[in-house]
Amino acid sequence: MIYKIYQSLLFPLVASLTLDNVLHVQKALNTPPNAKNLDQKQIDLDKKMESLAVVPYNSEILSPFHFDKRQFYLAGQNIVIKQKWGQLGVAAVVWDAAVVLCEYLEKHRNMLEDKTVIELGAGMGLAGMVAGLLGVGRIDITDREIVLDDLRQNIQENVHNQVSLKTIQVKALDWSHDLENFTDHYDLVIGADIVYIEETFEDLLRTISHLAQPETEVILASKIRYKRDKDFYKMLGKTFSLAKVHYDKDKDIVIYKAKLRIHKEL
Ligand SMILES: C[S@@+](CC[C@H](N)C(=O)[O-])C[C@H]1O[C@@H](n2cnc3c(N)ncnc32)[C@H](O)[C@@H]1O
């Protein structure tokens, strides 16, 4: 409540602030107030996210991140995603990359048919649930443990068809330590806006390589904000053949498709 009042008092002020001040105010607004309840590792990660939140990837002050709910019409149905920016930060809101990825998957739904799919860093799961609704063989929608309750809730509230619900599994996958729980290879690995914290890049690359076999297609939707984001794709390009397959000009989101270049010993 105090947080909300704080926000509403600040919004009218920001129009007259310099960019530096705006970024400073945003940093304050973007700090999850419940950080005290999280474990130390999570607090460290959130601090990292918080420091990233001051840069222009959230340059609109009245950002849709602050809405409690977002509504989309995708896969032939209305999808309502509950957001909790104040509690969970970046994982609990829908990013443009997820929307662009959903639209791409809708247009290319034949690539999903009967496939085993995994979504990495799913957040509130929009892209994974749309893939599930469009008709996959099976999809594992993954993120860090702390995100999973809200992720599950959003999926359950939007996916009513029993067949789709059976094919969608929500699983913990932190790129830094859960890989041993994933022994299967997937036909398709998808991710929206998961390339943004440099310290996670090596783990993310290892995760993608671990989940992929030579036929696996990796589809990543990204906003390229910094040189380091480009560098991630350069690193991915060392072991995967990489192509830009789509660019959404309005949202400034690129979709990359990658396939293992070097055949791993299976
Ligand atoms: C910018 S959000 C994108 C969320 C969602 N894909 C979307 O586009 O709406 C980045 C996501 O990556 C996840 N993430 C960050 N570091 C991670 C890690 N080490 N392991 C697994 N997921 C991670 C976050 O929890 C968050 O859900």
Q: What is the pLDDT of residues 100-127, one digit of tens each?
A: 999 999 999 999 999 999 999 999 999 9
Residue 91 near ligand 1, beta carbon < 6 Å:
yes
Q: How much is the mean pLDDT over the chain?
A: 82
Residue 95 near ligand 1, beta carbon < 6 Å:
yes
24-33, 89-98, 102-111, 246-255: which range is least confident on average? Answer: 24-33
- Could you give the CA distance from residue 244 to residue 237 in angstroms, rounded to a whole number? 12
Quickly state the pLDDT bin for 53 (edges 50, 70, 90): very low
**Nearest CA to 79 among 144, 32, 131?**
131
Residue 125 near ligand 1, beta carbon < 6 Å:
no
Q: Which atom of ligand 1 is nearest to the CA of 176?
A: 19
Mean pLDDT, rounded, for 152-177: 93
pTM, two decimals, is 0.81
94-260 folds as: Rossmann fold (3.40.50)
- Could you give the CA distance from residue 203 to residue 208 in angstroms, rounded to a whole number? 9
Which sequence spans correspond to the domains of the chain? 2-62, 94-260
Out of 65, 81, 90, give the residue to mutate to test ligand 1, the one with the largest number of ligand atoms within 8 Å of its CB.
90
- The H or E element that residue 245 is part of is strand 240-248
Residue 233 near ligand 1, beta carbon < 6 Å:
no
**pLDDT value, residue 54:** 35
For 171-193, the pLDDT digits (tens) are 999 999 999 999 999 999 999 99
For 124-138, the pLDDT digits (tens) are 999 999 999 999 999
CA–centroid distance, 92 to ligand 1, in Å, is 9
For 212-265, the pLDDT digits (tens) are 999 999 999 999 999 999 999 999 999 999 999 999 999 999 999 999 986 655
The yes-or-no verdict on residue 11 having pLDDT over 80 is no
Backbone angles phi and psi of 183, in degrees to 5: -100, -15
Out of 174, 194, 206, give the residue to mutate to test ligand 1, the one with the largest number of ligand atoms within 8 Å of its CB.
194
Helix/strand/coil for 243: strand
**pLDDT value, residue 164:** 81
Residues in Cβ contact with 173 at an 8 Å cutoff, skipping those fewer than 6 apart? 118, 120, 140, 142, 143, 144, 179, 181, 182, 207
Residue 209 near ligand 1, beta carbon < 6 Å:
no
CA–centroid distance, 62 to ligand 1, in Å, is 22
**pLDDT value, residue 214:** 95
The yes-or-no verdict on residue 170 having pLDDT over 70 is yes
